[in-house]
């Protein structure tokens, strides 16, 4: 039975109230078992069945005490969403009676058929069976919703043969890889006390809130998450009056409840504000170890949707729900810390002499340059294709922003002005000198909001990540590519006679061989696109083109070397990316074709007959009917255009299905289906502007965006 409530819990009545965290464990477990469990969580020992059962019983007692009736293995399949299947604690004993049971086996491992999740062919070749395995490092929590209270156990999801079928497994593996490589490097530098390197992540989540009644009248949003048509609203975001604006009452009520729900499950929701587009908002949590940040981001997205429903809203996470205003992204703040409390990207007061900082920074520069295409595909979704390069988000070209001071530091170590610091011409880099730079506080370095991968003080902000997607791929990619670079540096340093000299040499080589990835200027400019091409940087404007980086030989070699993903797993992920692309564009095509045929054309036909009636009446009266006739001509013309474009779209949709294999099919969907959908949209938007409001069967973008 639980002992007396501990002061630490009482002090924070809301935060973490629904989390089975350390303090709760201490309360529910004997000191001996508590210690064993903590050691198991830290990866220092196995959890034996007896201890595991005591732990499972404690969880059950705690959960039932808080009203739980069910438990679930909560996992993150390749859909990018979370999945759950609830089992109740009830075990019938005799007719009409049951006991509440929760065995350690149920805690640790779940055997779910779950065969309908995307597997990219993995499960056709192996058993259809899938397993969920408890991720002990991510705390168990209680989810409260209309289904009651459910004990959620964060798990990884894998096939019978142990292949990862989820986003979580490679993330966990990559955390170990980067930790091992980081520790090896730190030990080689002489930091022998460090036992662990931890990637930390703070993802900022953007979203839109729209009224439920508008949502229900827009099948395009219901089926695809975005508006597939809609004329330009008279007012977009040009006044910039929504960014950081006062939070209106109904939105405030939503945000308050959202924060409280998140705090209860231990998500440290910290910052909330209005974003630049009308009806767009953002929430940022405090950073956490990558796997927990990933779980929390999933919880954030889920909770946003649930709480929105309670307030009569629908939360849109799509990267581009509305043309004509900004879409949403996720700024993935990423850093590396140690178990001894170091932030490895902390430049300190004298970065030019800070070996740890310089070598970790160099590793990132190398990694991002070498694997730019892979990093790009880690942020690729069909929705994000609308955003990247549209002057509202970073372009599809990966580059690293360092800022003037750091660029100068690297130039001075390289002994040449290899990096354009972005400073005015009259500033000679080398004249600034490393010693003088020591006095420049790095925090004051300018922000560059156009950069896809910006150094921001003591972390990197990867700004390409799609708002809908799990952050797992972005982070397991980052962790692994950096692990590779750190490991190579460690190998050299271990053999070096003078560590100091070798570090300088490695930094110098990085600047020389990989400095091309550094760009401090305006990423939105046309000149940068040309300049990036000259530098040989990949510009992968869409998911289909980016996808191949997943199966590039150097990708496979790296992921296999660091035990993060096997060739089979990568091939399956490549398949899933293309499959998801095809399905998304197909749904969009069919949705717009259906709306055009069954709702938009009929509205135009009604308008036509209204005008024809009016013309007849006016003519009968001998009155002027010219304006009506002009309108009628315009609508007739647009209707003919609509029919033509609609036929092309449906033809292309049918043709697309005949194409194999996947890559060619995806290319056809991109070049023939998506383009036909976009083209049809133009005519629909023109019709919207020519049909009277009462006849138009949908809320317009203006009405949706300015709902309050
Ligand atoms: P900004 O620098 O973008 O103005 P903040 O300093 O508030 O904003 O940080 C934005 C996000 O970056 C937050 O989620 C924050 O927790 C996260 N962050 C801060 N430090 C780190 C770190 N060391 N590792 C990962 N994320 C971090
Ligand atoms: Mg923001």
pLDDT value of position 420: 81
Ligand nearest to the CA of 205: 2
Ligand nearest to the CA of 467: 2
Ligand nearest to the CA of 455: 1
Domain residue extents for the chain: 22-166, 173-427+440-565, 582-706
Cβ pair 18, 266 in contact under 8 A: yes
> Residue 290 C-alpha to ligand 1 middle, in angstroms?
13
- Residues 609-622 have pLDDT tens digits of 999 999 999 999 99
Q: What is the DSSP string of 166-233?
A: BSHHHHHHHHHHHHHHHHHHHHHHT-TT---EEEEEEEEEEEEEEEHHHHHT-HHHHHHSS-S--PPP
> Residue 269 C-alpha to ligand 1 middle, in angstroms?
12
Assign 241 to helix, strand or coil. coil
Among protein residues, the one whose CA lies closest to atom 6 of ligand 1: 456
Distance CA 363, CA 177 (A): 14
Ligand nearest to the CA of 297: 1
Distance CA 350, CA 372 (A): 29
Assign 396 to helix, strand or coil. coil
What ranges make up the beta strands (E) of 327-465?
330-338, 400-401, 453-455, 460-462
Assign 42 to helix, strand or coil. coil
Helix (H) or strand (E) holding 375: helix 372-377
> Residue 389 C-alpha to ligand 1 middle, in angstroms?
24
Q: Quick one: which atom of ligand 1 is closest to the CA of 271?
A: 7
Cβ pair 200, 287 in contact under 8 A: yes
269-274/90-92 β-pairing: unpaired
Mutating to test ligand 1, I would choose from 200, 201, 202, 291 the residue with most ligand atoms within 8 A of its C-beta, which is: 202
- Residues 118-127 have pLDDT tens digits of 787 776 645 5
Ligand nearest to the CA of 447: 1
Q: What is the DSSP string of 532-599?
A: HHHTT--B--SHHHHHGGGG-HHHHHHHHHTTS--HHHHHHHHHHHHHHHHHHHHHHHHHHHHHIIII
Distance CA 660, CA 105 (A): 44
Distance CA 649, CA 639 (A): 15
Ligand nearest to the CA of 341: 1
> Residue 137 C-alpha to ligand 2 middle, in angstroms?
29
Q: How many CA atoms lie within 13 A of 459 on its CB side?
A: 18
pLDDT value of position 127: 56
Mutating to test ligand 1, I would choose from 199, 332, 446, 459 the residue with most ligand atoms within 8 A of its C-beta, which is: 459
> Residue 297 C-alpha to ligand 1 middle, in angstroms?
14
Q: What is the DSSP string of 480-542?
A: HHHHHHHHHHHHHHHH-S-HHHHHHHHHHHHHHHHGGGB--S-TTSHHHHHHHHHTT--B--S
This prediction has a pTM of 0.93
> Residue 275 C-alpha to ligand 2 middle, in angstroms?
7
> Residue 206 C-alpha to ligand 2 middle, in angstroms?
7
Q: What are phi and psi of 156, to 5 degrees?
A: -100, 155
> Residue 268 C-alpha to ligand 2 middle, in angstroms?
17
Q: Quick one: which atom of ligand 1 is closest to the CA of 202?
A: 14
Q: Which of 205, 271, 286 is nearest to 16 (CA)?
A: 286
141-145/460-462 β-pairing: unpaired
Distance CA 483, CA 131 (A): 28
Cβ pair 114, 130 in contact under 8 A: yes
Q: Quick one: which atom of ligand 1 is closest to the CA of 337?
A: 23
> Residue 205 C-alpha to ligand 1 middle, in angstroms?
12
Q: What stretches of 75-132 show up as alpha helix (H) in DSSP? A: 104-108, 122-125
In whole angstroms, how far apart are CA 475 and each of 208, 462, 561, 571?
24, 10, 18, 19
Taking CB atoms and a 6 Å cutoff, what residues make up the pocket around ligand 1?
200-202, 204, 284-287, 333-335, 343, 456, 458-459
Distance CA 98, CA 88 (A): 11
Distance CA 305, CA 293 (A): 18
> Residue 457 C-alpha to ligand 2 middle, in angstroms?
17
Distance CA 704, CA 215 (A): 8
pLDDT value of position 117: 79
> Residue 329 C-alpha to ligand 2 middle, in angstroms?
8
> Residue 333 C-alpha to ligand 2 middle, in angstroms?
11
313-316/330-338 β-pairing: unpaired
Q: Quick one: which atom of ligand 1 is closest to the CA of 335?
A: 24
Q: Quick one: which atom of ligand 1 is closest to the CA of 334?
A: 25
End-to-end CA distance of the chain: 50
Architecture of the domain defined by 22-166: Roll (3.10)
Buried b (16+ CB within 10 A) or exposed e, 660-683: eebeebbbbbbebbbebbbebbeb
Distance CA 431, CA 219 (A): 62
Ranges of residues in the chain whose predicted pLDDT is under 50: 1-12, 125, 425-445
Q: Quick one: which atom of ligand 1 is closest to the CA of 456?
A: 2
> Residue 619 C-alpha to ligand 1 middle, in angstroms?
69
> Residue 272 C-alpha to ligand 2 middle, in angstroms?
10
Ligand nearest to the CA of 271: 1
Ligand nearest to the CA of 337: 1
Mutating to test ligand 1, I would choose from 268, 287, 460 the residue with most ligand atoms within 8 A of its C-beta, which is: 287
- Residues 312-325 have pLDDT tens digits of 999 999 999 999 99
Q: Quick one: which atom of ligand 1 is closest to the CA of 345?
A: 23
Q: Quick one: which atom of ligand 1 is closest to the CA of 343?
A: 23
Among protein residues, the one whose CA lies closest to atom 22 of ligand 1: 335
Peptide bond into 661 cis (omega under 30): yes
Distance CA 682, CA 553 (A): 42
Among protein residues, the one whose CA lies closest to atom 23 of ligand 1: 335
> Residue 282 C-alpha to ligand 2 middle, in angstroms?
7
Architecture of the domain defined by 173-427+440-565: 2-Layer Sandwich (3.30)
> Residue 365 C-alpha to ligand 2 middle, in angstroms?
24
Q: Quick one: which atom of ligand 1 is closest to the CA of 457?
A: 2
Summary count for the chain: helices (H), strands (E): 28, 17
Ligand nearest to the CA of 277: 2
Q: Quick one: which atom of ligand 1 is closest to the CA of 333?
A: 26
pLDDT value of position 124: 60
Helix H, strand E, coil C: the string for 623-673 is CCCHHHHHHHHHHHHHHHHHHHHHHHHHHHHHHHCCCCCHHHHHHHHHHHH
Assign 340 to helix, strand or coil. coil
Distance CA 78, CA 577 (A): 9
Among protein residues, the one whose CA lies closest to atom 11 of ligand 1: 202
Four-way CATH pick for 582-706: 3.30.360.10, 3.40.50.300, 3.20.20.70, 1.20.120.1560: 1.20.120.1560
Among protein residues, the one whose CA lies closest to atom 13 of ligand 1: 202
pLDDT value of position 1: 41
* Residue 183 burial (C-beta neighbours within 10 Å; 0-12, 13-18, 19+): buried
For residue 6, give the DSSP letter.
P
pLDDT value of position 299: 96
Assign 14 to helix, strand or coil. coil
- Residues 363-385 have pLDDT tens digits of 999 999 999 999 999 999 999 99
pLDDT value of position 393: 74
């Amino acid at each position: 039975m639980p002992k007396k409530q501990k002061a630490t819990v009482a002090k924070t009545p809301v935060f973490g109230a629904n989390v089975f965290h350390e303090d709760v464990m201490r309360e529910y477990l004997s000191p001996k078992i508590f210690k064993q469990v903590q050691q198991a969580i830290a990866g220092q020992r196995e959890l034996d069945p007896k201890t595991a059962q005591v732990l499972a019983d404690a969880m059950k007692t705690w959960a039932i005490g808080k009203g739980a009736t069910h438990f679930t293995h909560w996992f993150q399949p390749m859909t990018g969403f979370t999945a759950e299947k609830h089992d109740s604690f009830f075990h019938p004993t005799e007719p009409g009676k049951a006991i509440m049971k929760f065995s350690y086996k149920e805690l640790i491992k779940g055997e779910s058929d779950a065969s309908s999740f995307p597997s990219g062919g993995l499960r056709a070749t192996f058993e259809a069976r899938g397993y969920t395995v408890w991720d002990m490092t991510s705390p168990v929590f209680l989810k409260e919703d209309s289904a009651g209270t459910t004990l959620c156990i964060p798990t990884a999801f894998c096939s019978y043969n142990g292949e990862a079928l989820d986003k979580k497994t490679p993330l966990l593996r990559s955390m170990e890889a980067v930790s091992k490589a980081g520790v090896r490097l730190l030990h080689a530098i002489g930091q022998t006390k460090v036992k662990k390197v931890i990637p930390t992540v703070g993802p900022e989540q953007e979203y839109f809130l729209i009224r439920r009644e508008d949502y229900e009248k827009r099948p395009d949003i219901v089926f695809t998450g975005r508006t597939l048509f809609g004329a330009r609203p008279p007012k977009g975001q040009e006044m910039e009056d929504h960014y950081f604006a006062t939070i209106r009452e109904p939105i405030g009520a939503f945000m308050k409840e959202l924060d409280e729900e998140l705090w209860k499950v231990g998500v440290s929701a910290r910052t909330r504000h209005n974003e630049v587009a009308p009806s767009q908002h953002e929430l940022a949590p405090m950073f956490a170890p990558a796997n927990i940040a990933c779980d929390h981001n999933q919880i954030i997205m889920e909770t946003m949707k649930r709480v929105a429903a309670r307030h009569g809203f629908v939360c849109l996470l799509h990267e581009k729900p509305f043309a004509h205003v900004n879409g949403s992204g996720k700024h993935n703040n990423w850093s590396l810390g140690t178990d001894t409390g170091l932030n490895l990207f902390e430049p300190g007061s004298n970065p030019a002499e800070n070996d740890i900082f310089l070598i970790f920074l160099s590793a990132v520069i190398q990694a991002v340059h070498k694997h730019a295409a892979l990093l790009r595909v880690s942020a690729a979704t069909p929705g994000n294709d609308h955003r990247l390069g549209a002057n509202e988000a970073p372009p599809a070209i990966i580059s690293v922003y360092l800022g003037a001071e750091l660029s100068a530091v690297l130039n001075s170590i390289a002994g040449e002005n290899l990096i354009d610091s972005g400073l005015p011409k009259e500033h000679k880099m080398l004249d600034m000198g490393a010693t003088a730079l020591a006095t420049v506080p790095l925090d004051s370095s300018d922000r560059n909001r156009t950069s896809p991968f910006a150094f921001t003080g003591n972390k990197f902000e990867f700004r390409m990540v799609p708002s809908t997607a799990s952050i797992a791929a972005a982070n397991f990619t980052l962790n692994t590519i950096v692990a590779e670079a750190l490991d190579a540096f460690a190998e050299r340093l271990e053999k070096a006679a003078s560590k100091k000299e070798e570090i300088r040499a490695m930094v110098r080589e990085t600047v020389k061989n990989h400095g091309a990835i550094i760009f401090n200027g305006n990423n939105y400019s046309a000149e940068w696109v040309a300049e990036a091409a000259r530098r040989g940087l990949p510009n992968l404007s869409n998911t289909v083109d980016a996808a191949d980086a997943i199966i590039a030989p150097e990708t496979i070699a790296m992921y296999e070397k660091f035990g993060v993903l096997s060739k089979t797993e990568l091939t399956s992920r490549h398949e899933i990316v293309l499959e998801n692309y095809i399905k998304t564009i197909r749904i969009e095509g069919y949705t717009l074709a259906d709306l055009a045929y069954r709702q938009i054309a009929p509205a135009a036909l009604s308008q036509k007959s209204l005008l024809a009636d009016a013309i007849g009446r006016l003519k009968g009266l001998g009155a002027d009917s010219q304006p009506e006739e002009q309108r009628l001509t315009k609508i007739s013309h647009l209707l003919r255009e609509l029919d033509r474009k609609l036929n092309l779209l449906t033809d292309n949709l049918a043709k697309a299905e005949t194409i194999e294999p996947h890559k060619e099919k995806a290319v056809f969907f991109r070049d023939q289906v998506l383009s036909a959908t976009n083209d049809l949209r133009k005519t629909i938007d023109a019709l919207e502007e020519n049909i009277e409001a009462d006849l138009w069967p949908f809320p317009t973008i203006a009405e949706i965006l300015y709902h309050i």
